[in-house]
Amino acid sequence: MAVSKNKYAYAVGRVRVLETRLFDYGRLDRMLEAATAEESLKVLAESSYGNHFAEATGVHDFEIILSKEMAYVIAEFEKMSPQPEMVALMALNQDFHNLKVLFKCKYLGRQGEEPLLPPGMIPLKRLRSGVEEENFRDLPPVIRRAAENILMEFALSPDPQLIELHLDRALFEMKLAVAREGGSVFLVELFQREIDLLNINTFLRVKKMGRSKEFLQLALLPGGLLEEALFLNLLGEGLEGLIDRLANSPYGEIAAEGIRGWMEEGSAIRLEKLADDYITGYLRQRKSPPFGLEPLIGYLWGKQIEIKNIRLILVGKINGLPVEAIRERLRHVYL
């Protein structure tokens, strides 16, 4: 059911102020140019992240700070949005991450110390009891189907990648389904673009791994704007073909530049950065309406990118990576 856009007036008002507090290039630069990781962290402490420093004891705890901040932002947005489930979609990947971890722990017989993320839309308890009892009736049908497939296939061939691939597909299937149900054409189109960009990257990776067409079929996410057949047919051919085929798609430019980078340097740094930047740009163009979901989703994406950048800088600083190597990986900011 669609909700009148005017209901978003309050939330958008708040987002407009919050947007101004996202890290700009200047602040990222200050973190990057700091002499030590501790100094970088100080820049972080001066911002909204400062609220979560009590839980961290040292530089190496920065992941706690980042995940607390994201969880806080999502919770605030769910409270102020007229359609909280649309906001929660931006954290749905965390539920699927948890589901993956729970499945693997179950099969490994491992207990305690699970690398879980804060829950997004689905309470962790429900996921846990579902996996433990192999009964997924309480979970959304998309998850139930994927989980039952995993149970069946893992019994035949215990490949952990199967768990991942099935759940990745289910994640995007569910994202699209919830967005459609909520009547948000904007979100559907956004997720389709995300799917396409991930599929381009997946195609390159699968091709490099030398896997079969059947495997690629399973690894590609359905529901994007680009047909899966396009990738399947190109698996045996050179990458120039892919560049040509994508030339007329919305991703023509980034595909050309990213795939060239992949061919020349054998790394996906450029492509992955360009893909993130593409989504950032896409959302930035759509954030101006004073009412509606767009500015909220845009901000949440912007925040996720900001956290990605901060993590890059801090990991780089802690491990003494060269500033240039970090800088070339930094994503555009959403401002």
Segment lying near other proteins (by CB under 8 A), choices 120-128, 159-167, 173-181, 223-231:
159-167
Q: Does 158 contact other proteins by CB under 8 A?
A: yes
CB of 137 to other proteins, least distance (A): 25
CB of 248 to other proteins, least distance (A): 25
CB 236 within 8 A of CB 210: no
Q: Does 171 contact other proteins by CB under 8 A?
A: yes
Binding other proteins (rule: CB under 8 A), the pick from 132, 208, 227, 237 is 208
Select from 146, 105, 138 the least CA-distant residue to 122.
138
Number of residues that this document lists for the chain: 335
Q: Does 32 contact other proteins by CB under 8 A?
A: no
Q: Does 323 contact other proteins by CB under 8 A?
A: no
Q: Does 242 contact other proteins by CB under 8 A?
A: no
Residues 54-93 that bind other proteins (CB under 8 A): 63, 66-67, 80, 93
CB of 20 to other proteins, least distance (A): 5
Q: Distance (Å, rounded) from C-alpha 245 to C-alpha 237?
A: 12
List the structure tokens of 53. 């420093």
CB 90 within 8 A of CB 300: yes
CB of 308 to other proteins, least distance (A): 7
Q: Distance (Å, rounded) from C-alpha 50 to C-alpha 239?
A: 46
CB of 71 to other proteins, least distance (A): 12
Q: Does 151 contact other proteins by CB under 8 A?
A: no
In the three-class reduction of DSSP (H, G, I as helix; E, B as strand; rest coil), residue 45 is classed as: helix
Q: Does 308 contact other proteins by CB under 8 A?
A: yes
Nearer to other proteins, 161 or 285 (CB): 161
Segment lying near other proteins (by CB under 8 A), choices 23-31, 121-129, 141-149, 307-315:
307-315
Nearer to other proteins, 167 or 248 (CB): 167
Give, in degrees to the nearest 5, the angle at Cα 301 between 299 and 305: 115
Nearer to other proteins, 31 or 219 (CB): 219
- Provide the 10 A C-beta neighbour count for residue 241: 13
Q: Distance (Å, rounded) from C-alpha 272 to C-alpha 255?
A: 10
How buried is residue 318: exposed, middle or buried, by Cβ count under 10 Å (0-12/13-18/19+)? middle
Q: Does 24 contact other proteins by CB under 8 A?
A: no
CB 196 within 8 A of CB 222: no
Q: Distance (Å, rounded) from C-alpha 2 to C-alpha 39?
A: 47
Residues 270-299 that bind other proteins (CB under 8 A): 271-272, 290-291
